[in-house]
């Protein structure tokens, strides 16, 4: 479930994961870039996203699970990882407190795509659950409304 | 570049505790109202004042934060110290990969009318570098000082 949410965050940047296929070895340019970008990564698993001609790599870095997307030229296009809510930017935290005061924060995903970082925050109240997308400036929009039963089944 | 250095200097002055007088009772209702509106879950609030600026030190969501207000109640800026693992992943890897011989001496997140971002000071045996990021993905060097 947790990895699915990470993929959901990345898929919001228009990458499709339905056709991801595990591969080994991976494209050399992507591999070299990955090794330079995340020097201490372990538990590395590569997959291709055939429809997009992209490479998806999931790994652990500083004990955190991260998913990254590279193109065939070895450019890092996107990353997603879980973070603790305390790591949310100041203005995101203050806006969540103001706008969603009756909700508790379930999970937070940090996503970086095209040089921009945003946050997918799963919120839950007694009556509803939703995922909001927040910019570091504190601008927040509803990304997805969830059926309450999603969390009750976890 | 000059503007960035000035901004960095102002932020450093603001976060320096010595710049503020000791605890004060805040009688400015505009500041109080603005603070309560902006930081609705703030706890353990302490106020200091200097040169017409009010600084609140408080706890919010289990971390210590600082917010600076003007006399008219407008929020001048907010900031907090961070540990490197709280940085966005791109900023973490850039420091680790490009400044492997440096150690972090100061790191904080800010939010003011220029936007939101991060400041970091790193040092090696030979120099100190101050960097700023406003896009949460890459650092810009603000200042280099040789030791």
Across the range A119-126, mean pLDDT stands at 94
Query: What number of other Cβ atoms are within 10 A of residue B111's Cβ?
Result: 23
Q: Cβ–Cβ of B60/A93 closer than 8 Å?
A: yes
When computed from its CA atoms, the radius of gyration of chain A, rounded to whole angstroms, is 16
pLDDT surpasses 70 at A7: no
Q: Cβ–Cβ of A136/B117 closer than 8 Å?
A: yes
pLDDT surpasses 50 at B31: yes
Residues B138 and B72 in one domain: no
Q: Report residue A105's pLDDT band, with 50, 70 and 90 as the boundaries.
A: very high
User: What is the reported pLDDT for B6?
Assistant: 43
pTM of the full predicted structure?
Answer: 0.81
Domain range holding B69?
2-76
Sequence-ordered strand ranges (E) for B11-125: 43-50, 53-60, 63-69, 75-81, 103-112, 115-123
Three-class SS string for A49-109?
EHHHCEEEEEEEECCEEEEEEECCCCCEEEEEEEECHHHCCHHHHHHHHHHCCCCEEEEEE
User: What is the reported pLDDT for A41?
Assistant: 93
Which of helix, strand or coil describes residue B12? helix
pLDDT surpasses 60 at B23: no
Residues B105 and B123 in one domain: yes
Residues B72 and B46 in one domain: yes
Q: Quote the mean pLDDT of chain A.
A: 85
Which of helix, strand or coil describes residue A134? strand
Q: Cβ–Cβ of A101/B40 closer than 8 Å?
A: yes
Residues B30 and B93 in one domain: no
Note the CATH architecture for domain A84-152. Answer: Roll (3.10)
Residues B103 and B129 in one domain: yes
Across the range B48-71, mean pLDDT stands at 90
- Tell me the pLDDT tens digit for each residue of A123-150: 999 989 999 999 988 999 999 998 765 5
Q: Quote the mean pLDDT of chain B.
A: 85
Work out the minimum CA distance from A93 to partner chain B, whole angstroms: 8
More confident residue, A6 or A12: A6
Contact residues on chain A for B135, CB-CB shorter than 8 A? 115-117
pLDDT surpasses 90 at A29: yes
Number of structural domains, chain B?
2
- Tell me the pLDDT tens digit for each residue of A36-79: 999 999 999 999 887 778 999 999 998 889 999 999 999 999 99
Q: Which residues pair with B43 in a beta bridge?
A: B59
Across the range B134-145, mean pLDDT stands at 92
Name which of B147, B111, B110, B109 is nearest B129 in CA terms: B147
Please tell me the CATH code under which domain A2-79 is placed.
3.10.450
Contact residues on chain B for A84, CB-CB shorter than 8 A? 86
Name which of B27, B28, B30, B38 is nearest B66 in CA terms: B38
User: What is the reported pLDDT for A59?
Assistant: 95
**Across the interface, which of B41, B90, B116 has its CB nearest the CB of A91?**
B116
ipTM: 0.79
Residues B67 and B9 in one domain: yes
Q: How far apart are CA A61 and CA A69, in angstroms?
A: 15
User: What is the reported pLDDT for B1?
Assistant: 44
Q: Cβ–Cβ of B111/A91 closer than 8 Å?
A: yes
Which of helix, strand or coil describes residue B4? helix
What CATH number does residue B34 fall under? 3.10.450.360
Across the range B19-32, mean pLDDT stands at 72
Q: Report residue A151's pLDDT band, with 50, 70 and 90 as the boundaries.
A: low
Residues B11 and B68 in one domain: yes
């Amino acid at each position: 479930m947790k990895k699915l949410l990470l993929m959901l965050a990345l898929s919001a940047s228009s990458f499709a994961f339905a056709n991801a296929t595990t591969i080994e070895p991976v494209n050399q340019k992507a591999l070299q870039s990955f090794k330079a970008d995340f020097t201490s990564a372990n538990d590395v698993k590569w997959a291709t996203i055939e429809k997009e001609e992209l490479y998806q790599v999931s790994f652990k870095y500083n004990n955190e699970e991260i998913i990254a997307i590279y193109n065939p030229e070895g450019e890092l296009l996107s990353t997603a990882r879980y973070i603790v809510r305390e790591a949310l930017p100041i203005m995101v935290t203050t806006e969540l407190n103001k706008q969603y005061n009756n909700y508790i924060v379930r999970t937070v995903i940090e996503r970086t795509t095209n040089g921009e970082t945003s946050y997918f925050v799963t919120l839950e109240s007694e009556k509803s659950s939703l995922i909001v997308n927040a910019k570091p400036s504190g601008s927040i929009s509803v990304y997805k409304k969830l059926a309450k039963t999603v969390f009750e089944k976890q | 570049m000059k503007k960035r250095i000035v901004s960095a200097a102002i932020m450093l002055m603001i976060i320096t505790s010595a710049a503020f007088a000791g605890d004060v009772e805040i009688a400015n209702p505009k500041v109080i109202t603005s603070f309560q509106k902006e930081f609705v879950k703030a706890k353990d609030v302490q106020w200091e004042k200097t040169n017409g600026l009010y600084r609140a030190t408080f706890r919010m969501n289990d971390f210590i934060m600082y917010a600076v207000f003007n006399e008219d109640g407008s929020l001048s800026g907010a900031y907090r110290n961070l540990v490197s693992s709280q940085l966005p992943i791109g900023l973490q890897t850039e420091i680790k990969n490009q400044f492997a011989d440096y150690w972090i001496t100061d790191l904080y997140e800010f939010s003011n009318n220029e936007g939101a971002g991060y400041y970091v000071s790193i040092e090696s045996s030979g120099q100190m570098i101050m960097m700023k990021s406003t896009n949460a993905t890459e650092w810009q060097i603000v200042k280099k000082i040789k030791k």
